């Protein structure tokens, strides 16, 4: 690994920060097109460029190509960092990577190494030689590995710290622990305060909500924390966010793949709403239906209907993927993103917040 800590200067121009692309090349292209990326822009890729999504290798190569289209910077995320296992001989990492690759071999989103193997014509038998694999990858994919090696764990400018996972409160940026930089889970949950703005990804911002699912970046002026992971790839209704720093102002924009629709009817806001989310998602089945099931959230006792295909068993426990019964106020003419149409109305996003809308919709051209 190269230099863990690096300084940069945000001297004029627009700075765009994007985290957690997770191999979703279509979203990255869509977002940069929407922002009209220009040569004068500074683009900071805030880690977790690869893994989990469908096109890790193509996304990594696209990032390399961005060096000729803007002033490109990056930091490592936890899913980027482990690929530097290819440079080392740590038996612990070798064992973890072997298990990971063999588990993912026959899944649709196989990840960077398995995509590289496919391109290089390398078949992984269960007892494949780890040193031979590492040497073959380093040689054939030298530009890709050089790029990953070149990334620091933290970037610091005059007024900002850019880091994938986060920074423990009170830690000087240049003394931060590399592993915490790349993987500090739930960084913003304790509302840490900092002298400089800390911009982080890694934890989908929706996990900081309690009664609604919001993928909108959190920009907290009191804490000086911006948390920007919109849950692209990892959440069914996720989006790819960009934090935009320009002329001393902080704003944001996003891209998601959902079609835009126009609401034709007024909807009054729901009287209550709740959000069952990852990590606290154990439910009891009250009534089974083909399209929806009535469930009770185990910890709180809250009851709601959830789409039947959201429910799954793990280790004998019934769990749901992230779900809400939130009904936003909608006015005729409001533009919404359509995540899913059902017989009981649509799961939509309004201004980056997910919810249900029961009125009529028309597609936007």
Residue nearest to Mn ion (CB): 202
Per CB under 5 A, which of residues 73..92 are in contact with Mn ion?
A: 77-78
Residue 173 found at the interface with Mn ion (CB under 5 A): no
Pair 139, 147: CB distance under 8 Å? no
Q: Which residues inside 32-51 make contact with Mn ion, applying CB under 5 A?
A: 48
Nearer residue to Mn ion within complex by CB, 101 or 200: 200
Q: Is 295 left (phi over 0), alpha (psi -120 to 50) or beta?
A: beta
Distance CA 116, CA 112 (A): 6
Place of tokens 């919001």: 214
* Helix, strand, or coil (residue 162): strand
Give the C-alpha separation, 307 to 58, whole Å. Answer: 33
Only segment of 68-76, 99-107, 195-203, 263-271 that touches Mn ion (CB under 5 A): 195-203
CB nearer Mn ion, residue 78 or residue 273: 78
Q: Which residue's CB is nearer to Mn ion, number 186 or number 270?
A: 186
CB-wise, 78 or 267, nearer to Mn ion? 78
Residue nearer to Mn ion on the CB measure, 79 or 292: 79
Please report how close the Cβ of residue 184 comes to Mn ion at its closest, in angstroms. Answer: 9
Q: Which two tokens stand for residue 42?
A: 């500074």
**To the nearest whole angstrom, how small is the minimum distance from the Cβ of residue 207 to Mn ion?**
12
Q: Find the shortest distance in angstroms from Cβ 173 to Mn ion.
A: 19
DSSP track, 305-354? EEEGGGEEEETTEEEE-SEE-----B-TT-EEEEEEEETTEEEEEETTEE
Instruction: Select the residue interacting with Mn ion from 42, 202, 224, 350 (CB under 5 A).
Output: 202
- Which positions touch Mn ion (CB under 5 A)? 48, 77-78, 202
């Amino acid at each position: 690994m190269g230099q863990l800590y690096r300084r940069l200067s945000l001297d004029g121009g627009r700075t765009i920060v994007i985290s957690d692309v997770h191999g979703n090349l279509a979203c990255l292209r869509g977002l940069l097109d929407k922002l009209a990326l220009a040569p004068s822009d500074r683009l900071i890729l805030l880690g977790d460029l690869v893994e989990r999504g469908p096109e890790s290798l193509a996304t990594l190569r696209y990032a390399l190509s961005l060096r000729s289209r803007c002033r490109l910077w990056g930091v490592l995320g936890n899913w980027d960092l482990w690929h530097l296992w290819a440079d080392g001989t740590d038996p612990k990492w070798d064992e973890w990577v072997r298990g990971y690759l063999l588990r993912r071999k026959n899944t649709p989103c196989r990840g960077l190494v398995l995509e590289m193997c496919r391109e290089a014509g390398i078949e992984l038998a269960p007892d494949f030689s780890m040193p031979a694999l590492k040497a073959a990858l380093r040689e054939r994919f030298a530009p890709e590995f050089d790029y990953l090696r070149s990334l620091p764990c933290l970037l610091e400018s005059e007024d900002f710290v850019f880091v994938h996972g986060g920074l423990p409160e009170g830690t000087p940026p240049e003394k931060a622990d590399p592993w915490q930089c790349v993987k500090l889970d739930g960084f913003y949950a304790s509302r840490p305060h900092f002298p400089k703005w800390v911009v982080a990804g890694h934890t989908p911002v929706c996990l900081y909500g309690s009664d609604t699912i919001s993928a909108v970046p959190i920009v907290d002026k009191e804490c000086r924390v911006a948390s920007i992971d919109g849950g692209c790839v990892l959440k069914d209704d996720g989006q790819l966010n960009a934090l935009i720093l320009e002329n001393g102002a902080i704003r944001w924009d996003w891209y998601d793949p959902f079609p835009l629709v126009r609401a034709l009817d007024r909807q009054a806001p729901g009287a209550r709403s709740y959000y069952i989310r990852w990590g606290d998602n154990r439910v009891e089945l009250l009534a089974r239906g083909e399209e929806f099931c009535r469930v009770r959230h185990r910890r709180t006792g809250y009851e709601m209907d959830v789409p039947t295909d959201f429910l799954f068993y793990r280790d004998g426990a019934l769990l749901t993927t992230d779900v809400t019964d939130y009904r936003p106020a909608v006015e005729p003419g409001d533009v919404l993103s359509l995540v899913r149409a059902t017989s009981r109305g649509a799961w939509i996003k309004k201004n980056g917040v997910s919810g249900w809308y029961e009125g009529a919709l028309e597609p936007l051209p």
